[in-house]
Structure 1
Amino acid sequence: MTQEVQSSSAAPFRPVLTRRADAETCADPSSVMTLLADSDSTADGFTSYRSTFAEGAVGAPAHFHTKATELFFVISGSLQVLVGDEVTVLGEGDFLAVPPHTPHAFAAAPGCKADVLFVFTPGMGRFDYLRLLGRVMRGEADAKEIAASAERFDNHYVDSPAWRAALEVSA
């Protein structure tokens, strides 16, 4: 559960504190997503969650957002990412900002685990999307629901030969 902290400043939203013990988690066979702050508690300013990927975790296929910038901060481990047509590996302490309309994808780097903080700005109610992803990965929902939600969650999947090639090499 997200907790609001009292503040006397004139901020567009109240400070948000999410305690580890109160955070909702969405787990699938290869990752755990810890939901930290969604747009409803940040006046649409941002959405943030943390993903812990097991070795070999697939992450997200190539996609782009039309409205949001997606920020990545690698807490530990290594994350393989696609940005545009370039595939690279982010290591502990690395930061990446992917602007709108830029195709990107990510997965645990070959032979590695990854712990990553994600922030979307502006926010737009992505927690329901993350919950849906977890249900699909666990076989509790049909993957067609993800495609049907593209506009609602500003998540548009694309084909990326560079990403497919990188995944083939790491398999």
Structure 2
Amino acid sequence: MNAFVVRPEQAEHVALTGGSAFRLLADGADTSGALGANRLTLAAGTDGASPHHHARSTEAFYVVEGAARFRWAGPGGVRTETVRAGGLVVVPPGTVHAFGAAPQRGAELLVVLTPGIDRFGYFRALGRVRRGEEPFASLLPEQERYDVHFADPAGWGEPDAD
């Protein structure tokens, strides 16, 4: 892999809904599998991802602006924490997690997954699902390919207060 730069105008924009969007920065193929990176803009109170896990990748979320609410399964049940700008959340492989913008606040997240897997196709498909152009079920056959394994949302309930 050679060093490379992705300028803001070069990053692919994938619209979600309500002003939320991905900026695709680097895919696994771009980094010889070292990492994948995107910037995610979430409108206030918007869901970023429902419960899921990655079997092979660690996912790191740096909160650039605003505040995001993270939930993950661990000993003792589901934990919820709101993280403000400047905070970092690291989710190891196999940990079921979900996230979104905090209520009443938007969030800008830099998301890095390592090792990098080619996930840009997943983010494009997710955009189509979020915009109502495709059903969620269209993502189910792609779980292994993109290392995004959906969990049953039952039992996650409403987020606890921090």
3-state secondary structure, aligned to 2:156: helix
The whole-number CA distance in structure 1 between the counterparts of 2:155 and 2:71 is 8
Residue 133 of structure 1 is matched in structure 2 by: 126
> Gapped runs of 5+ residues in structure 1?
1-12
Percent of aligned pairs with the same amino acid: 37
User: Which is bigger in relative contact order (C-alpha 8 A, separation at least 6)?
Assistant: 2
Residue 64 of structure 1 is matched in structure 2 by: 53
TM-score normalised by the chain length of structure 1: 0.87
Q: Deviations over 1:133-169 (max 9, x none)?
A: 0011111112111112111111111135563221xx7
Which residue of 6, 12, 19 maps to 2:7?
19
- Residue type matched to 2:126 in 1? L
> Gapped runs of 5+ residues in structure 2?
none
Computed over aligned residues only, the root mean square deviation of the Cα atoms, in angstroms, reads 1.5
- State how many pairs are aligned: 156
TM-score normalised by the chain length of structure 2: 0.91
Which residue of 108, 117, 120 maps to 1:124?
117
Change (3 A) 1:160 1:29: closer
Q: Deviations over 1:20-64 (max 9, x none)?
A: 011100002131100000011100100000001011211100110
Change (3 A) 1:91 1:161: farther
3-state secondary structure, aligned to 1:62: strand
